[in-house]
């Protein structure tokens, strides 16, 4: 009977450990990137004995209770939740974000990042730096300090579309904004004067800035079919404001023989020629930082420009159960497994979604079901101990009564 107390006690201990794991799962049901764990049970040693009966009778096998053989981490995908924070990023599929704190490397599914005072992208919880992967597959810290502003770009090309009526004698296009070498804006006016009397389809062009200074002039020509003529389809202009380096740009009126730019068809006295594009812009300040599906840091600026920075590194392991949970949603690699390092691509590694976080994968319904099982098991083991105690007490009472009778 004493063996039954021991076996029941091992059951109490096993169910207590299972309850500890379950309570940790439930406590972290709202922890981003958390992966729940399951307890694995095993039976203990057995006592074997053979009865004195017929040859070949089955041996008696009496077990010595149960124990836990460890825990197993559940790496199933958690649901994604929108946070509205562009520096939050979630993995759909395989992969861990790679973090480095100067002394060690850790891995996480959490994806809550921020930019610290030195411009490094760091994990919000641990403060460890987030790693990027370069074209050679090497890891590097992500520093965005040099990407906080978008430098100005001088205009190099202005294009036009629409029809410059062959029947008109002049035309004017105003309010054309271009940018100089330091990002200063200038408003141009382009005047067209027909030279059709001396050269069919020819137009004299004069370009003036907002101060009335001529910054470019020349002649464009159109063929008999109304398309730009080769060698006469652009005008070169120069911007040289005081104290600013000189910059040069061209006014482009379309490819020779093409009708996708400017044309010279009959249209009465009215033309609808207008500016189509210009490629310059002023300096801009950083507005938002986010990530695309491949993990590139994407930066948007106040001047309308978008720049791609480093690409987030992802890691994966052949034996996920060899990883060790360290708190703060971090995993370490104590066994020294060689990680597979790659970028998000939807193939080997998963894809990334900005403004979202992967939530805990704890299934509360399943946890409550297991809680009932643990409770019933614990109660049953304690009841076994209680009954065994009663039986031992009854035995002791018999032995005590027998001794008393013999003394009388």
Task: Tell me the pLDDT tens digit for each residue of 333-386.
Answer: 999 999 999 999 878 899 999 999 999 999 999 999 999 999 998 888 888 888
Could you report how far apart the first and last alpha carbons of the chain are, in Å? 31
Separation CA 218–CA 232 (nearest Å):
9
Reported in sequence order, the residue ranges of 209-333 that DSSP labels E, i.e. its strands, are: 214-221, 234-239, 247-252, 262-263, 274-278, 284-291, 296-301, 306-311, 314-316, 324-327, 330-332
CA distance 113 to 129: 9
Nearest in space to 237 (alpha carbons), one of 205, 265, 260: 205
Residue 17 predicted with pLDDT over 80: yes
What's the confidence (pLDDT) of residue 407? Answer: 46
Delimit the domains of the chain by residue range. Answer: 2-75+362-403, 80-149+286-358, 157-275
DSSP helix/strand/coil, 134: coil
C-beta of residue 273 within 8 angstroms of C-beta of residue 265:
no
What does the pLDDT look like over 236-283, one tens digit per residue?
A: 999 999 999 999 999 999 999 999 999 999 988 899 999 999 999 999
| pTM of the complete model beyond 0.85 | no
CATH of domain 157-275: 2.60.98.20
Three-class SS state of 170: strand
270, 168 Cβ separation under 8 angstroms: yes
């Amino acid at each position: 009977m004493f063996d039954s107390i021991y076996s029941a006690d091992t059951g109490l201990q096993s169910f207590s450990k299972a309850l500890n794991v379950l309570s940790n799962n439930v406590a972290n049901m709202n922890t981003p990137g958390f992966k729940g764990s399951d307890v694995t049970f095993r039976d203990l040693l057995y006592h074997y004995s053979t009865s004195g009966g017929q040859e070949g009778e089955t041996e008696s096998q009496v077990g010595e209770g149960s124990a836990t053989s460890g825990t197993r981490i559940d790496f199933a995908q958690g649901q994604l939740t929108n946070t509205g924070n562009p520096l939050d990023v979630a993995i759909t599929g395989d992969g861990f974000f790679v973090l480095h704190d100067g002394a060690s490397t850790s891995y996480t599914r959490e994806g809550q990042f921020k930019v610290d005072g030195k411009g490094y992208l760091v994990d919000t919880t641990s403060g460890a730096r987030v790693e990027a992967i370069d074209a050679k597959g090497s890891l590097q810290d992500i520093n965005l300090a040099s990407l906080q502003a978008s430098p100005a770009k001088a205009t190099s090309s202005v294009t036009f579309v629409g029809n410059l009526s062959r029947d008109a004698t002049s035309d004017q296009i105003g309010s054309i904004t271009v940018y100089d070498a330091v990002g200063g804006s200038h408003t141009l006016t382009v005047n067209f004067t027909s030279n059709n009397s001396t050269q069919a389809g020819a137009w004299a062009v004069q370009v003036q800035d907002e101060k009335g200074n001529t910054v470019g002039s020349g002649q464009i020509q159109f063929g008999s079919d109304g398309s730009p003529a080769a060698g006469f389809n652009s005008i070169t202009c120069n911007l040289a404001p005081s104290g600013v380096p000189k910059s040069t740009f061209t006014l482009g009126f379309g490819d020779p023989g093409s009708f996708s730019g400017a044309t010279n068809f009959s249209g009465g006295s009215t033309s609808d020629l207008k500016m189509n594009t210009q490629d310059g812009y002023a300096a801009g300040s950083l507005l938002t930082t986010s990530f695309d599906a491949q993990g590139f840091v994407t930066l948007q600026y106040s001047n309308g420009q978008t720049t791609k920075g480093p690409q987030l590194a992802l890691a994966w392991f052949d034996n996920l159960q060899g990883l060790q949970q360290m708190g703060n949603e971090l995993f370490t690699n104590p066994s020294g497994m060689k990680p597979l390092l790659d970028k998000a691509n939807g193939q080997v590694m998963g894809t990334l979604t900005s403004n979202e976080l992967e939530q805990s994968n704890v299934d509360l319904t399943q946890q409550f079901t297991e809680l009932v099982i643990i409770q019933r098991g614990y109660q049953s083991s304690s009841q076994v101990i209680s009954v065994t105690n009663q039986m031992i007490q009854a035995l002791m009472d018999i032995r005590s009564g027998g001794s008393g009778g013999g003394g009388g």
